[in-house]
Structure 1
Amino acid sequence: MSSETAARTSVSTHILDTSVGRPAEGVALTLSVRSGSDGTWTAHGASKTDADGRCKDLPALPEGTTHVRLDFETEAYFVSHQHSSDKQAEEQQDAPRVRDSGAFFPEVAITFAVKPGEHYHVPLLLNPFGYSVYRGS
């Protein structure tokens, strides 16, 4: 099978802001790749999450990619949404009332291994004080 007909390795992601139960719109991210665990990271793409919190426009990965890193710029998102989140927190009995800086994690970097020809969907569940990720479908 030629490289033109082989399935391309691809990545997609989305972010849910679990502090408000909604997609996180407008979060900038970069996609970097490397070949081998000791390879050098190379920027390969950039995007922002859409109104549904998704990035569907990341480029296919170059042949030979073994590791991918997604860098999410979360601080700007939380700073721009701090007022509405604080108002919602006031309505919740157990929610913290005051935030230090708008985001405890100003950025989130997710690194994962990939195999040729597979699709990797990596959801980020985010709130001002924590996050989790998993391999989705």
Structure 2
Amino acid sequence: MAGFLTTHVLDTARGCPAEGLEIALYRLDAGERVLLRALVTNDDGRTDEQILPDGEFAVGQYELVFRAGDYLRATGQAGDEPLFLDEVPIRFGMSEASHYHVPLLLSPFGYSTYRGS
């Protein structure tokens, strides 16, 4: 099986997928972050393509940065500045060529993640 990476962002405060949320994927290489791509979630809270497709997959350390603040402002959930959550970074390792799914459950004052399927 080839490895690849996907995500799904759900707005738990509104009870719906988080549409229009910007996501950046970085590879951590010798202590430096290298931007691999930036995508935006669709109306289902997913990206239209794999965040890291099988042809570009490599084991290693990665970071997804979810631009939660921009999304919360756009949906009227931001509250006062500075926001409690602005950018949500999630660092994780991929140690084998398989499907990695890193979802984000988001609200204005909290989030959670896990390795999904």
When the two structures are superposed, what TM-score results if normalisation uses the length of structure 2? 0.86
Determine whether 1:8 maps to 2:10: no
Where do 1:101-116 residues align within 5 Å?
101=81, 103-116=83-96
Matched with 1:49 is 41
Does the 8 A contact of 2:6 with 2:52 survive in 1?
Answer: no
Q: Counterparts of 2:82 and 2:10 in 1: how far apart (Å)?
A: 17
In the TM superposition, residue 102 of structure 1 has moved relative to its aligned partner by 8.5
Once the two structures are TM-superposed, the CA of residue 56 in structure 1 deviates from its matched residue by: 4.3
The 5-angstrom pairing of residues 115-126 of structure 1 reads: 115-126=95-106
What SS does the corresponding residue of 1:76 show, helix, strand or coil?
helix
Contact 1:14 1:123 in 2 (8 A): yes
User: What are structure 2's unaligned runs of at least 5 residues?
Assistant: none
The structure with more strand, counted as a fraction of residues: 2
Corresponding position: 1:130 with 2:115: no
Mapped partners of 2:16, 2:80: distance in 1: 22
Distance in 2, matches of 1:59 and 1:25, equals: 19
The within-5 A match list for 1:82-93 is: 82=76
TM-score (normalizing by structure 1): 0.74
Identity within the alignment, %: 37
Between the two proteins, the alignment pairs up a number of residues equal to: 115
RMSD over aligned CA atoms reads: 2.1
Tell me, which stretches of 5 or more residues in structure 1 are unaligned? 1-6, 87-98
How far residue 68 of structure 1 moved from its aligned partner, in angstroms, is: 1.1
